[in-house]
Amino acid sequence: MSEIVGFDITPDAGTTLRKVLKLNLYPFLVQFEEISVGATKVIILTSKSMLIRKTCCESVMLAMKIEYELVITVKSIFTTHIVVIC
């Protein structure tokens, strides 16, 4: 945004609304809005990506648990049949 206006507009501890208004940024509002829309999309996509990752991880963990229980069950069945046969 500083590049667009041609000078540093990074806020600091002393930044007030009055100071921002005095910068006369109105001519740049359309460009700032485009940046805002893009940033909002990034935030939304990041949030959705994190949710998908979480859901995917939970699904993988559930699948691993089911697979482990299946292995234990099969092992138990084989152990039982081997003992009966011998």
- Tokens 């011998």: give the residue: 86
- How far apart CA 54 and CA 75 sit, in angstroms, is 31
- Report yes or no: 55 and 31 within 8 Å, Cβ to Cβ: no
Give yes or no for residue 27 having a pLDDT over 90: yes
Instruction: Please tell me the total count of domains within the chain.
Output: 1
* pLDDT, greater one: 81 or 21: 21
The CA distance from 61 to 53, in Å, is 12
> What is the pLDDT of the chain when averaged over all its residues?
88
Structural domain containing residue 40: 2-85
User: What pLDDT score was predicted for residue 84?
Assistant: 57
Tens digits of per-residue pLDDT, 41-82?
999 999 999 999 889 888 888 889 998 888 888 888 877 766
Residue 83 has pLDDT above 70, yes or no: no
pLDDT for the residue 6: 93
pTM greater than the 0.75 cutoff? no
What's the whole-number mean pLDDT along residues 12-28? 94
How far is the C-alpha of 27 from the C-alpha of 40, rounded, in Å? 21
